[in-house]
Structure 1
Amino acid sequence: MWVAIPLLRASHPEPAAGVTAVAVLLSIGLDRPLGGVIAAGAAVLASQLSIGWVNDALDAERDAAAGRSDKPVAAGKVSRRLVAVLGAVAAAVCVPLGFLSGWEAGLVSALALGSALLYDWPLKSTAASVVPYAVSFTCLPAFVVLGAGKTPPLWLLAAGGLLGAGAHFVNTLPDLDADERSGVRGLPQRFGRRGSLAAAAVLLPAATAALAFGPPGPPPVLFWPALGVSLIALSWGWYRMNRDTTSRAPFLAVIAVALIDVVFLLISGLNLD
């Protein structure tokens, strides 16, 4: 039992819970039966657990060198081998779970998982580091919509890609200095802190705007409150980061924005035309 909490921390539980919640809420909004909602949520959760565990297993030496006491593997609270094995098992489970939503959705789910794992290695340290985030977040609504027997519209896919790209720039902010020292040179590291903040400030509101202006007709009245709450959440994240450059608050704010966007979409009516 003592190892359960370090294993949970190594799975990156906050983004895992947030992304899974997005999939579940979208599935409910598309009127999938309970079994379909559970299947979609389970596939996404398995993929998120795999991505988190594999990431911490691959980065164990780098995290230890950077003194990352918040990383259970680097801190010696759980073995690197165990986390790597669990990551592989979660990936293997994710694939058949994805196909429970249909063969098209299953292929998209597998693509999302493969893309995210390619970020863990080798794309994290390249100028293409943003690509896996954009691809995997684009796949998320595509997987859910295809699982409901519908065709995902381009505006919904664009919103997912924009959100994912913005999340990448935000997620790297607390580790920029340590990444530079360890030789990680992804796109955010090349942009620097100010450049990454600027990129995120454009991409994240653009994701909300895509949900409002993408469907036919005028944007729903709730767009402006949703945008306002999203900007407040992001501002809170920036404020906390300015007080502590290692704070994870900006990424938590991005998760909040994703959930706000989904709730806005569902309340406004999920028009997939």
Structure 2
Amino acid sequence: MRAVALVRASHPEPAVVVTVVAAVLAASVGRDGAGVLAVAVAVLAGQLSVGWLNDFLDAERDRLAGRRDKPVVTHAVSRRALAPATVVAAVVCVPASLASGLAAGMVHLLAVASAWSYNLGVKSTPLSVLPYALSFGLLPTFVVLGLPGSPPPPWWLPAVGALLGAGAHFTNVLPDLAADAATGVRGLPHRIGAVGSRIAAAALLLTASVLLAVTTTAEPLVAVGLPAVAAAVLVTGFLRGRRDGSRAPFRAVLVVALLDLVLLLAAGHTIVA
């Protein structure tokens, strides 16, 4: 049970989705089996380190907020156990990242460091969206730079990643706005409020889907249909997420990310000339 609690403390939903997206993107742009595995291990290790660091640092804040969904609050796993787990994941992330080459590896480590900076205090500032935008913008750059010759990605690929990351940030904090405010967290979403955050998230995510649709070489039906489906998913998620504490909007973001992945898969072989 402790192992299950440790997994739950890692924020498994986004960790799995981000890892799958990175691995599938790696395969679609031409990384071989070893390269895809290296990407998956590096990204998963980085995601685990970020998730465990978050719950380690926020343990007391989560307790004060009554976050019963947090294993460390319910004592299913101890705060002390999260510290070595974070360190081990971070240590694994370094060689796994560098396995894709020095340039690619350093880009991914910068992405992980950016995510750590969010946990270490940036989330309580008006710049809270920047680590999300930077980390998710660097992720596809890492994947492409790992190809032979370290080719740069097309401009729109990191742009789409940054848009998805920024949109995820505004959505991710929606269930916790009140609890965060009560414990002193005042990031950008908290400053613009729930309505403003929903508008920002929807605009950013839909912009990412449209940008993919107009820049990739997907079939016209796919290019037109997927942004429409993404809009429907977001509307449904945000409507279902109007009650306090709902995770529906965040799950809608994960679905949209997977839909955008479909567009990337359709054009993966053309990303690098």
TM class, shorter-length:
over 0.9
Pair 1:92-2:91 in alignment: yes
CA distance in 1, matches of 2:267, 2:115: 30
For each residue in 1:50-71, what CA deviation from the matched residue of structure 2 results, as whole angstroms up to 9, or x when unmatched?
A: 0000000000000000110100
Aligned to 1:229: 229
Task: Answer yes or no: is the 8 Å Cα contact 1:163–1:203 preserved in 2.
Answer: yes
CA distance in 1, matches of 2:117, 2:2: 27
Amino acid at match of 1:200: A
For each residue in 1:122-162, what CA deviation from the matched residue of structure 2 results, as whole angstroms up to 9, or x when unmatched?
A: 10101111000000000110011111233211111110001
Amino acid at match of 1:21: V
Pair 1:56-2:55 in alignment: yes
CA distance in 2, matches of 1:37, 1:268: 17
Amino acid at match of 1:257: V
Aligned to 2:214: 213
* Higher deviation after alignment, 87-96 or 60-69: 87-96
CA distance in 1, matches of 2:97, 2:233: 32
CA distance in 2, matches of 1:16, 1:269: 22
Task: Answer yes or no: is the 8 Å Cα contact 2:218–2:266 preserved in 1.
Answer: no
Task: Answer yes or no: is the 8 Å Cα contact 2:30–2:269 preserved in 1.
Answer: no
Amino acid at match of 2:78: S
Task: Answer yes or no: is the 8 Å Cα contact 1:222–1:268 preserved in 2.
Answer: no
CA distance in 2, matches of 1:221, 1:123: 41
CA RMSD of aligned residues (A): 1.5
Pair 1:28-2:24 in alignment: no
User: Secondary structure of the residue that 1:153 maps to in structure 2?
Assistant: coil
Task: Answer yes or no: is the 8 Å Cα contact 1:109–1:143 preserved in 2.
Answer: yes
State the shift of 1:249 in Å.
1.4
Task: Answer yes or no: is the 8 Å Cα contact 2:214–2:223 preserved in 1.
Answer: no
For each residue in 1:96-122, what CA deviation from the matched residue of structure 2 results, as whole angstroms up to 9, or x when unmatched?
A: 100101111101110011000000011
Aligned to 1:113: 112
Aligned to 2:2: 3
CA distance in 2, matches of 1:246, 1:26: 32
User: Secondary structure of the residue that 1:67 maps to in structure 2?
Assistant: coil
User: Secondary structure of the residue that 2:246 maps to in structure 1?
Assistant: coil
Aligned to 1:238: 238
State the shift of 1:219 in Å.
8.1
Aligned to 2:262: 263
CA distance in 1, matches of 2:72, 2:83: 10
Identity %: 52
The 5 A counterparts of 1:141-156 are 141-149=140-148, 150-156=151-157
Task: Answer yes or no: is the 8 Å Cα contact 1:220–1:268 preserved in 2.
Answer: no
CA distance in 2, matches of 1:179, 1:246: 12
State the shift of 1:208 in Å.
1.1
For each residue in 1:172-227, what CA deviation from the matched residue of structure 2 results, as whole angstroms up to 9, or x when unmatched?
A: 00000101111100000001000101101110011112212235x89844111111
CA distance in 2, matches of 1:57, 1:218: 43
User: Secondary structure of the residue that 2:127 maps to in structure 1?
Assistant: coil
State the shift of 1:84 in Å.
1.7
CA distance in 2, matches of 1:266, 1:143: 17
* Higher deviation after alignment, 147-156 or 160-169: 147-156
CA distance in 1, matches of 2:22, 2:161: 12
CA distance in 2, matches of 1:28, 1:115: 25
The 5 A counterparts of 1:176-215 are 176-215=177-216
CA distance in 2, matches of 1:232, 1:128: 29
* Higher deviation after alignment, 227-236 or 47-56: 227-236
Amino acid at match of 2:200: A
Task: Answer yes or no: is the 8 Å Cα contact 1:213–1:219 preserved in 2.
Answer: no
User: Secondary structure of the residue that 2:270 maps to in structure 1?
Assistant: coil
State the shift of 1:271 in Å.
2.3
User: How many pairs are equivalent?
Assistant: 270
Task: Answer yes or no: is the 8 Å Cα contact 1:156–1:210 preserved in 2.
Answer: no
User: Secondary structure of the residue that 1:271 maps to in structure 2?
Assistant: helix
